[in-house]
């Protein structure tokens, strides 16, 4: 009987976890960008960004939605003179996340350095520019 109770509790926790993963959130995406064969989307949480810690998630996909997490390295910084801070891959989900401390949300910019298969690029996102945002929550 104890094993059945444990199984039911584990199953209930799994269902709750799956449902919460599929639920909406208060994040927003910026306009999608492309580099080489990659589609790049930046998501912020919360939205709009606020003074204090904000989470940044960079979503990478390849042609026709191919998953590409293996081999990509992503770094963030908030000012051109700051040191780069590595974003952490979120498992094998092609999402690279990091929380950063925003001092001035009205003038905030995010610089992204992306390395993939020996090539690298830098992107810049104006975090206070609403015209860069697109509708939609999770991808």
The CATH number for 111's domain is 2.60.40.10
Phi, then psi, of 22 in degrees rounded to 5: -90, -5
Mean pLDDT across the chain: 80
**Is residue 10 a part of any domain in this protein?**
no
Residue 21: pLDDT band (50, 70, 90) is very low
Domain span at residue 120?
Answer: 26-134
**Is residue 98 a part of any domain in this protein?**
yes
Residue-wise pLDDT for 87-129, tens only, equals 999 877 889 999 999 999 999 999 999 998 889 999 999 988 7
Q: pLDDT above 70 covers what percent of the chain?
A: 72
Please give the structure tokens belonging to residue 65.
């939605």
Residue 7: pLDDT band (50, 70, 90) is low
Check residue 2 and report its DSSP letter. H
End-to-end CA distance of the chain: 41
Q: What distance in Å separates the CA atoms of residue 26 and residue 5, rounded to the nearest whole number?
A: 35
Using the predicted structure, report yes or no on whether residue 131 has a pLDDT greater than 80: no
Query: Based on C-alpha coordinates, what's the Rg of the chain?
Result: 18
**Is residue 30 a part of any domain in this protein?**
yes
Number of domains in the chain: 1
**Is residue 18 a part of any domain in this protein?**
no
């Amino acid at each position: 009987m104890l094993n059945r109770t444990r199984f039911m509790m584990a199953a209930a926790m799994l269902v709750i976890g799956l449902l919460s993963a599929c639920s909406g959130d208060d994040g927003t995406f910026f306009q999608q960008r492309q580099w080489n064969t990659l589609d790049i989307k930046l998501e912020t949480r919360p939205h709009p960004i606020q003074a204090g810690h904000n989470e940044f998630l960079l979503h990478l996909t390849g042609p026709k939605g191919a998953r590409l997490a293996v081999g990509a390295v992503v770094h963030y910084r908030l000012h051109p003179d700051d040191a780069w801070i590595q974003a952490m891959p979120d498992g094998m989900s092609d999402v690279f996340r990091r929380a950063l401390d925003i001092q001035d949300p009205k003038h905030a910019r995010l610089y992204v350095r992306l390395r993939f298969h020996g090539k690298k690029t830098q992107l810049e996102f104006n975090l206070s520019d609403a015209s860069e945002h697109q509708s939609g929550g999770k991808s």
